[in-house]
Amino acid sequence: MLAADRYQRIVELIDENGSVLVSDLVAEFGVSRMTINRDLDHLAGIGSLTRVHGGAMSAVETGDPRSRHCLMCGTETGGRTAMTLFHEGGTQSQACCPHCGLMLVSEHADVTAALAQDFIGGQMVSIRAATFLVAPDVTVCCVPTVLCFEERDDADRFSRGFGGTLMTWEEAQADVRDHMTLTKEGTEV
């Protein structure tokens, strides 16, 4: 099979399923993981998809000026902490940081997937596979600061230098939601 044919089929599979795994593509095409990773890198480079840990998802669109502002707080997005949320019906929204992104996931039942930017490497990572560092002794965006890491070891090393608590996305979401509830009630500054 020619590379162009694989590219077309990969994009079709993402259109049908929303995402693909490298392992599934290896089995589908009978080629090596390296070949599939090169294919995905090429397609990501031309904007046909977004790479995530272990596979790829629908392309993150950034052409709409509204998509460059956080749906939660209105801050311009695109820094080392950006998040993209995918909603039912194919729409996307942006968050300036995991703090706002996790709040949005809580508030919008139509979110089907979310990607957060790895604080160290900059690649987009599925929130389900990420490790979050909550409330380190550094303020990057919103408070409490929440940082995303693809590798738990990176998050652990960062926390040794800057403090904070390592959490899954569900734990981080609950922690931020609780913090914001306390703040709104005036219990916490």
71 and 164, same domain (yes or no):
yes
pLDDT at 7 over 60: yes
Least confident of 8-22, 50-64, 72-86, 164-178: 50-64
Query: H or E segment at 184?
Result: helix 169-184
Question: Residue 37 sits in a domain of what CATH number?
Answer: 1.10.10.10
- Asked if residue 189 is part of any domain, the answer here is no
CA-to-CA dists, residue 15 to 20, 56, 108, 114, angstroms: 10, 11, 23, 17
Tens digits of per-residue pLDDT, 61-94? 444 444 567 888 878 777 789 898 888 877 788 8
Task: Specify the pLDDT at position 182.
Answer: 63
Cα diameter, the chain: 63
7 and 51, same domain (yes or no):
yes
Q: What average pLDDT does the chain have?
A: 85
Task: Specify the pLDDT at position 12.
Answer: 87
28 and 97, same domain (yes or no):
no
36 and 72, same domain (yes or no):
no
Q: What is the extent of the structural domain holding 27?
A: 3-58
Token pair for residue 68?
A: 């460059």
Q: Average pLDDT for residues 34-45, to the nearest whole number?
A: 89
pTM, 2 dp = 0.65
169 and 102, same domain (yes or no):
yes
29 and 101, same domain (yes or no):
no
Q: How many domains does the chain have?
A: 2
- Asked if residue 8 is part of any domain, the answer here is yes
Last residue of a domain, one of 18, 39, 58: 58
49 and 81, same domain (yes or no):
no
86 and 177, same domain (yes or no):
yes
